[in-house]
A and B are shown apart, each in its own frame.
Chain A
Amino acid sequence: MLCAPLLGFHPRPHEGSAPRPRKGAALDPQPFEKRPAKTLTCVCFALISFFVLLPLAVAFSGNICYNYYNVPKEEIYLKKLLKYMKGYIKECILGPLFKLLEALLELLVPLVVAAVIDNGIARGDRSYTVRMCLLLVGFGAAGLAFSLTAQYFAAKASVGFVTKVRHALFKHIGELSFTEHDELGASTLITRMTGDMEQVQSGVNLTLRLLLRSPFVVFGAMITAFTVDRKCAMIFLYVTIILLAVVFAIMLICIPLYKKVQKKLDSVTLITKEDLTGVRVIRAFCREKEETEDFRKRNAGLCAAQEFVGNISLMMNPVTYIIINLAVIILVHNGALRVETGDLTVGEVVALYNLMSQILVEVIKLADMIISLTKSIACGNRIQAVLDTPSSIISGSGTVPADSGYAVEFIGAGLRYKDAAENAVSDVTLAVKKGETIGIIGGTGSGKSSLVNLIPRFYDTCSGEVRVNGVNVKNADLKSLRSRIGIVPQKAVLFKGTIRENLLRGNENASDEEIMLAAKTAQALDVIRVKGGLDGEIEAGGRDLSGGQRQRLTIARALVRRPDILILDDSSSALDQATDAALRRSLRETDFSPAVFIVSQRIASIAHADRIVVLDDGMVAGIGTNEELLGSCDVYREIYLSQLGKEAV
C-alpha cells in the first residue's frame, strides 16, 4: 500500500517531458505506463508468498535444529510462557511491523537508482536526478524513524516479558518444596533464573526485530526482481535456494562438531580443576609430570577438534561469496541478452545487481538468527518446565497452638524420597515433651536428618503421621508450623548482610538484647565481637567466617525465635569439643526450654541427652539413655567403641 504511491514517482516526470530521450520510444516501448499496476501486483504477490513461505521455512529449519538440540517436540512448552507477553501485545505487533516498513524502503532503493539511471542519466534530466536522490535520503530518514520505533518496541517487550517471567519463576522456586529442590538442584535453578533468562530475552528481542525482516528482504528482493524482469529473476530464485542450502548445510555439519569441541573443552577444564583441587595429593605422589602429559594430550585433542570445525565453518564466507558472484556474472550476461532484444534497460540491470547483494547479507543473518532462536526456545522450554513442576507440599490451614501435651509426636512415621527404592526412615514412633533433649545417632544414610526433616514438614511422610503441639503437620499452616521450630541445618548458611539482618531472619521483631542473649547461648558472642558488633557485614555465604563461627551464628539465629522445638542437625560438627560442650550446657539453661533434637555422629555430643534414638538403615535400633543403650543396643555399642576405645566403657 505504501510503495504504490511512492513508485508513482517513476512515470510522472515523463508525462510532460517533451524532449525524447536518446534511447527513444522505439527502444523503450512499454515500461512506464504499465508499471504502477505491475508494481501493485508484485507487492501483493510478495506479501502473500512471504507470509506463506516464511512459516514454512521457519518450521522446516526449526525442525532440523530441534533434532540437533535434542528437544523432543512434545516438550515445547513455549506457548505457555507467552502468557507473560500479555501486556505487550501492542509492542509485539508494532515492532515487527515497523521493521517491515524499514525493509520495504530498503528494497525500493535499487529501483530508485534504476530510475535515476534510466530516466535521469539517460535523458540528462538533472532535476529528476536531484529529486530521486532526495527521495533516497527521505527513504533513509523514514527508515531510521521506523527502525528506531521498532527497536523501542522490541526492547520494551523483551525486557518487560523477561522481567515478568523472572518474577514468576523466582516466586515459584520459593514455593517449591525440598523434594523439588533436591531433584532439580540449586545450580540448575540458578541457571534457569540467570543464563536462560538472558537467552530468552535476547531471543525475544531478536524475533521482534529480525525474524520478519530477514526473510522479508530475501523474498522481497526476489519478488522485486520478478517485477523487473521475470527471466532474470529466475536466477534470484535459484541463488536464494542454493545459498540457503549451503548456509544451512554448513551450520548443520558444524553443530554436532561444536558439541564435540565442547566436550573436549570440558575435559580440559576438568583436569585443570582437578589439578588445582588435588594439588597436595598430586605433589605428594610426585605425579606432576604425568598430569602434565595427560593435559597435553587432552589439550592437543581439543586443539585438533577446534581446528577441524573451524576449517569447515570458515568455508561459509568464501563459498557464499563465489555463489553470489557467479550469480552476478550470469545475471549480467543474461541481462545483456535481454537488453540487446530491448526487454530490459541498463538501469534495470544495475538494479538487479544491487538487489543481489542484499540477498547475501540477509541469508547469512537469517541463518545466524535461526541458530540463536533455537537456543532461546530451548531455554524457554527449560524455564517453563520448572514453572510446570508443582510443589509436592501444599500448606494446610490450621494454626499450631502454643502448647499441648507433647511438642513432637512421631506415630509410625516413615519417609521415602522421590524415586528412591527404599524408605529413608521407617516406622518411627516417639513422643517428645517440651524441655526434653533427644539425641539422634547413626551412620551416614541411616536416616537421622530425614527423621528431623519431617518435623517442619520439609518432606511428607509416606506412612504414619507427625504432630507438632498436637496438630498433624499435614493440616497445619506451614508458616505457623515453622514459626514454632528453630532449625540449625547441617550446612551452615548465612546470607550477605549484617549480622543483625541474618539473626533477624529467625525473628523479625527481636530486640538487640534478645539477639545478644541468643548469641550468648549459642557461644557466638566472640564471633560478633570479631566482626565489630551486630552491624558487622557478612559476605555472601559467610565466606569470611570459619566453619565454627558460621555454625554458632546459625545456632543463634534459630534461638532468636525462642522456638518450642530446636533442631540441631549435625550442627556441632564444625565446633570443637569444648565449644560443643559449652553450647549444650547453655541450652539447658534457656528460659523457654524447647524440646531439643540433636543429630550427630559423635557420641560425645549426644551421650547426655534425656533419650537417644539410634538409627540403623532407617530403622530404629534402640531408644534409651546412654547407659541403657550400652547394655541393650549392639549398634550403639559399636559406634561407642569405635569412637572412644575399649577403656572408655
Chain B
Amino acid sequence: MAKGGKSTLKRIMAYVGRYRFPMVLSVIMAACQVGLSLYVPILIGQAIDLIVGAGRVDFTGIRVILLKTAAAAAGAAALQWCMNLINNRVTCRVVRDMRNSAFEKLNTLPLSYLDSHPAGETVNRLISDADQFSDGLLMGFTRFFTGAVTIVGTLFFMLSINVHIALVVILLTPLSLFIAKFIAKRTYDMFLLRSRTKAEQTAFIDEMISGHKTVAAFGGEEKNLIRFDEINTRLEKCSMSATFFSSLTNPSTRFLNNCIYAGVALTGALICISTAGSAAPFTVGQLSCFLSYANQYTKPFNEISGVITELQNALACASRLFELLEETSEQSDSGNADIPHAKGDVRFNDVSFSYQPDRPLIEGLDISADRGQRVAIVGPTGCGKTTIINLLMRFYDVTGGEILIDGQDISAVTRSSLRKNFGMVLQDTWLKTGTVRENISFGYPDATDEEIRAAAKAAHAHSFIKRLPDGYDTVIGEEGGSLSEGQKQLLCIARVMLRLPPMLILDEATSSIDTRTEVRIQRAFDEMMKGRTCFIVAHRLSTVREADMILVMKDGRIIERGRHEELLKLDGAYAKLYNSAF
C-alpha cells in the first residue's frame, strides 16, 4: 500500500474531482459551522456575566445576547445539516461511479484474469471495498477537516480570551493523544493474536460443520470437541486481554480530560480572584466558556487520531479497487471486421497454447472439421478438454498458429460476431436470477413469446415449464433455485435453440440427471446438432461412437485422433479407456 499510496490518492481525485464544487462548498460550510458552534459558548459566557447577582441582572443585555446565541446555534445546525447532505450525496455517488466503472471493467477483463481470481474476492472488491473506501475516505475527510478547524478555532478563541488558561489546555491536551497512542501500540499485538486465533477457530468451525457428515461417519465428534476447546480456551485468553486492554483508552483519556478540566477550573478561578475588581477582569462567564471548551477540546484530537487509521484502511481498500480497475483489458477489437453468418468449416493450423508461459500445453495442433461434422473430445478429468472450447470461443487467444472459420482467422474478427456463430451448452449450467422467459431469451432479448415457446418445445423443456407455478414467468432463484440439474440443462439448451448458430459447443453432463430427463436432453442435443459443426466434450459412449472425429486428450495434449473404429484398432489410450469402461 505504501508504495502505491501517492498514486492511489491521485486516482481517487479523478473520481472525487467530478464533485469538486460541492466538496469545496462543504469545506467552507464546515469552517463556518465550526466557527459558529465555537462562538455559542462565548455568547453564553457573556450572558452569564450579565447575571451578576440578585437584583443586578441586566435583562435587556441578556435577551440580546440570547437572541444572538439562538441565531448562532440555528446557523450552526443548518450549516451542519447542509454539509451532511452534500457529503452524503458525494459519498454515495462516488461509490456508485466507482462500482459502475469496476463492473464495466469486469466485462472487458480477459478470462485468464477471471479464472485465476476467485469470484468472491472480486465481488468483495466491488461491494465492501467500495463501501469502506467511501465511508472511510469521504466521511473521514470531513471529520478530519472539521476536527482540524475545531482545534484551530478553539485555540484562537481561547487565546483571545485568556492566554494563561489557554496554555494550560494546549500543554495538557497532547498528553491524552500520547496515552491513546501508547495503548494502541501496546494492544496491537494482542489484537493481532486475537484475530489470528479467531481466524483459526472460524476455519476449524467452517470445515467441521461443512464436513459434518464425514465427521459423523467416522465418529470424529469427540476428537473435534477436544481440538475445538483447545482453540476456544486460547481464544478466551487472548480475547480477554485484547478486550480489556483496548478498553483502557477511553477511561484513561477521560481521566486526563478531567485533569485538564480541573486545571482550567483552578487557573481560571485563581485568575478570576486575582483580577476581580481590575479594569479587565476575568469573569465567571469566561470561565464557564473555557470549561466547555476544555470539555470539547480533546474530542477533535481523538477523532483525528481515529480518522487516521480509518483513512489508512480506506486507502488500502481503494488501492485494491484500483488494482482491479487497472488490470489490462482484453485487446479491443473495434477495428476488426465482423464475421458474417458462418458456414461452419473450422481449421486449427499449427496451434500452440499454454495457460502459463513456462508450461507449454498445446503445440502444433491441427484439426479440421468440415461443415456438419462432429468432433468428440474425450479423456480423463482435468485433461484440458475445455481448453479447446476456450480457444474456439476466444475466451483465451492462441499463442501460436491460427484458428480459421470459413478460412478467416478468428483473431482478425470481432469477438462478438465470432461468438454469435457458436451455440454453447456447458456442463456447468448457469442461469440468471430472473424469469424462465428472460433466461431462454438471454441471447436474443427481442424474441417473441412464440419463438420462446418454440425453442422450449424444441429443447423438450416446454412440458416442465408449463408445470412450474407461473409457467414462463416463474422466477428462478439464485443458482437455478429449485430447478433440478436436468431441468436447468434443458433451459440452457432452449437458450441456444432460440437462435441456432451454425456451430455448436456441447459439454455433456456427467452429473446426476434422472433417466427420463437424460433421454430428453439427448434427443434435444441430437436435434440441435443436425447439419451443424459440433465440438462435444463427450462422456457417453454413444456420442463417441457416432462422432466424425475423436480427439483423445491427456494432460492438455491430444494423444490420439480418428474415428471410433480406427482408434480401437490402434489399441492405444483410447482402446484402453474404452475397454476399461466395459
Structural contact, A325 and B70, CB atoms closer than 8 A: yes
For chain A, residues 340 to 372, give those with C-beta under 8 angstroms from any C-beta of chain B.
340-342, 345-347, 349-350, 353-354, 357
Structural contact, B240 and A186, CB atoms closer than 8 A: no
Chain B residues contacting A302 (CB-CB under 8 Å) are: 96
Against B, the Cβ 8 Å flags (1 = close, 0 = not) of A592-606 are 000000000100100
Among B80, B123, B233, contact of A317 (Cβ-Cβ < 8 Å): B80
Interface centre among A189, A296, A321, A648 (most CB of B within 10 A): A321
Interface centre among A269, A581, A642, A648 (most CB of B within 10 A): A642
Structural contact, A148 and B380, CB atoms closer than 8 A: no
> B17 contacts the other chain (Cβ, under 8 Å)?
no
Structural contact, A314 and B81, CB atoms closer than 8 A: yes
Give Cα distance in the complex from A279 to B432, angstroms: 11
Structural contact, B53 and A23, CB atoms closer than 8 A: yes
Among A147, A186, A442, A554, contact of B254 (Cβ-Cβ < 8 Å): A147
Minimum distance in angstroms from B254 CB to a CB of chain A: 7
Structural contact, A163 and B92, CB atoms closer than 8 A: no
Among B52, B81, B209, B269, contact of A190 (Cβ-Cβ < 8 Å): B209
Structural contact, B119 and A292, CB atoms closer than 8 A: no
Structural contact, B103 and A292, CB atoms closer than 8 A: yes
Q: Could you pull out 10 A-B pairs where Cβ atoms are within 8 angstroms?
A: A143-B251, A155-B243, A288-B107, A304-B92, A339-B53, A496-B207, A505-B214, A570-B512, A604-B581, A644-B540
* Contact flag A350-B48 (CB < 8 Å), given A318-B77, A493-B214, A577-B577: yes
Chain A residues contacting B582 (CB-CB under 8 Å) are: 604, 607, 648
> A2 contacts the other chain (Cβ, under 8 Å)?
no
Interface window among B310-318, B462-470, B513-521: B513-521
18 further A-B contacts with Cβ under 8 Å, apart from A269-B127, A554-B214, are A121-B269, A136-B261, A143-B255, A159-B239, A170-B228, A186-B209, A265-B127, A282-B107, A286-B420, A296-B100, A315-B84, A318-B80, A325-B73, A329-B66, A483-B219, A506-B218, A577-B581, A647-B545
* Contact flag A326-B70 (CB < 8 Å), given A276-B119, A444-B486, A647-B545: yes
Structural contact, A174 and B221, CB atoms closer than 8 A: yes
> A117 contacts the other chain (Cβ, under 8 Å)?
yes
Give Cα distance in the complex from A277 to B81, angstroms: 43
Give Cα distance in the complex from A271 to B51, angstroms: 66
Among A141, A181, A337, contact of B255 (Cβ-Cβ < 8 Å): A141
Give Cα distance in the complex from A379 to B443, angstroms: 44
Against A, the Cβ 8 Å flags (1 = close, 0 = not) of B61-73 are 0110010011001
> A94 contacts the other chain (Cβ, under 8 Å)?
no
Chain A residues contacting B288 (CB-CB under 8 Å) are: 350, 353-354
Against B, the Cβ 8 Å flags (1 = close, 0 = not) of A507-531 are 0000000000000000000000000
Which 3 pairs show the lowest CB-CB distances between chains A and B?
A443-B514, A140-B258, A645-B542
> A482 contacts the other chain (Cβ, under 8 Å)?
yes
> A280 contacts the other chain (Cβ, under 8 Å)?
yes
> A403 contacts the other chain (Cβ, under 8 Å)?
no
Structural contact, A303 and B50, CB atoms closer than 8 A: no
Give Cα distance in the complex from A307 to B381, angstroms: 50
Structural contact, B424 and A644, CB atoms closer than 8 A: no
> A420 contacts the other chain (Cβ, under 8 Å)?
no
Structural contact, A281 and B430, CB atoms closer than 8 A: yes
Q: Number of A residues whose C-beta is below 8 Å from B?
A: 166
Give Cα distance in the complex from A274 to B85, angstroms: 34
Chain B residues contacting A52 (CB-CB under 8 Å) are: none
In the complex, residue of chain B having the shortest beta-carbon distance to the beta carbon of A339: B51
Minimum distance in angstroms from B406 CB to a CB of chain A: 19
Structural contact, B81 and A546, CB atoms closer than 8 A: no
Structural contact, B519 and A174, CB atoms closer than 8 A: no
Among A147, A269, A444, contact of B484 (Cβ-Cβ < 8 Å): A444
Against A, the Cβ 8 Å flags (1 = close, 0 = not) of B101-129 are 00110111001001000011011001100
Minimum distance in angstroms from A401 CB to a CB of chain B: 18
In the complex, residue of chain B having the shortest beta-carbon distance to the beta carbon of A479: B219
Give Cα distance in the complex from A485 to B37, angstroms: 76
> B336 contacts the other chain (Cβ, under 8 Å)?
no
Chain B residues contacting A353 (CB-CB under 8 Å) are: 44, 48, 288, 292
Structural contact, A120 and B273, CB atoms closer than 8 A: yes
Structural contact, B107 and A275, CB atoms closer than 8 A: yes
Among A295, A307, A546, contact of B382 (Cβ-Cβ < 8 Å): A546
> B393 contacts the other chain (Cβ, under 8 Å)?
yes
Q: Number of B residues whose C-beta is below 8 Å from A?
A: 152
For chain B, residues 392 to 429, give those with C-beta under 8 angstroms from any C-beta of chain A.
393, 395, 415-416, 419-420, 422, 424, 426
Among A27, A136, A296, A319, contact of B77 (Cβ-Cβ < 8 Å): A319
Structural contact, B269 and A133, CB atoms closer than 8 A: yes
Give Cα distance in the complex from A116 to B273, angstroms: 11
Give Cα distance in the complex from A311 to B214, angstroms: 51
Structural contact, B225 and A174, CB atoms closer than 8 A: yes
Against B, the Cβ 8 Å flags (1 = close, 0 = not) of A117-147 are 1001100111001101110110111011001
> A263 contacts the other chain (Cβ, under 8 Å)?
no
Among A124, A286, A579, A643, contact of B542 (Cβ-Cβ < 8 Å): A643
- Majority secondary structure, B binding face: helix
> A278 contacts the other chain (Cβ, under 8 Å)?
yes
> B331 contacts the other chain (Cβ, under 8 Å)?
no
Chain A residues contacting B486 (CB-CB under 8 Å) are: 444
In the complex, residue of chain A having the shortest beta-carbon distance to the beta carbon of B236: A163
Chain B residues contacting A116 (CB-CB under 8 Å) are: 265, 269
Structural contact, B522 and A642, CB atoms closer than 8 A: yes
Interface window among B198-206, B340-348, B367-375: B198-206
> A419 contacts the other chain (Cβ, under 8 Å)?
no
> A167 contacts the other chain (Cβ, under 8 Å)?
yes
> B457 contacts the other chain (Cβ, under 8 Å)?
no
Among B69, B213, B395, B515, contact of A635 (Cβ-Cβ < 8 Å): B515
Chain B residues contacting A319 (CB-CB under 8 Å) are: 77
* Contact flag A117-B284 (CB < 8 Å), given A279-B114, A349-B51: yes
Give Cα distance in the complex from A325 to B459, angstroms: 73
Structural contact, A280 and B393, CB atoms closer than 8 A: yes
> B244 contacts the other chain (Cβ, under 8 Å)?
yes
Structural contact, B519 and A638, CB atoms closer than 8 A: yes
Minimum distance in angstroms from A115 CB to a CB of chain B: 10
> B561 contacts the other chain (Cβ, under 8 Å)?
no
Chain B residues contacting A8 (CB-CB under 8 Å) are: none
Give Cα distance in the complex from A269 to B541, angstroms: 41
* Contact flag A495-B433 (CB < 8 Å), given A332-B66, A638-B519: no
Chain B residues contacting A109 (CB-CB under 8 Å) are: 258, 261
Structural contact, B54 and A340, CB atoms closer than 8 A: yes
Among A152, A173, A285, A311, contact of B209 (Cβ-Cβ < 8 Å): A173
In the complex, residue of chain B having the shortest beta-carbon distance to the beta carbon of A194: B202
Interface centre among A120, A170, A506, A639 (most CB of B within 10 A): A170
In the complex, residue of chain A having the shortest beta-carbon distance to the beta carbon of B122: A276
In the complex, residue of chain B having the shortest beta-carbon distance to the beta carbon of A310: B88
* Contact flag A290-B445 (CB < 8 Å), given A174-B221, A280-B393, A336-B51: yes
Structural contact, B273 and A443, CB atoms closer than 8 A: no
For chain B, residues 238 to 278, give those with C-beta under 8 angstroms from any C-beta of chain A.
239-240, 243-244, 247-248, 250-252, 254-255, 257-259, 261-263, 265-266, 269-270, 272-273, 276
Against A, the Cβ 8 Å flags (1 = close, 0 = not) of B456-493 are 00000000000000000000001000001110000000
> A458 contacts the other chain (Cβ, under 8 Å)?
yes
Structural contact, A578 and B291, CB atoms closer than 8 A: no
In the complex, residue of chain A having the shortest beta-carbon distance to the beta carbon of B106: A275
Structural contact, A540 and B203, CB atoms closer than 8 A: yes
> B14 contacts the other chain (Cβ, under 8 Å)?
no
> B93 contacts the other chain (Cβ, under 8 Å)?
yes
* Contact flag A349-B218 (CB < 8 Å), given A167-B229, A314-B84, A329-B66: no
> B235 contacts the other chain (Cβ, under 8 Å)?
yes
> A61 contacts the other chain (Cβ, under 8 Å)?
no
Structural contact, A340 and B55, CB atoms closer than 8 A: yes
Give Cα distance in the complex from A647 to B291, angstroms: 99
Minimum distance in angstroms from A507 CB to a CB of chain B: 9
In the complex, residue of chain A having the shortest beta-carbon distance to the beta carbon of B49: A346
In the complex, residue of chain A having the shortest beta-carbon distance to the beta carbon of B61: A336
Chain B residues contacting A329 (CB-CB under 8 Å) are: 66, 69-70, 73
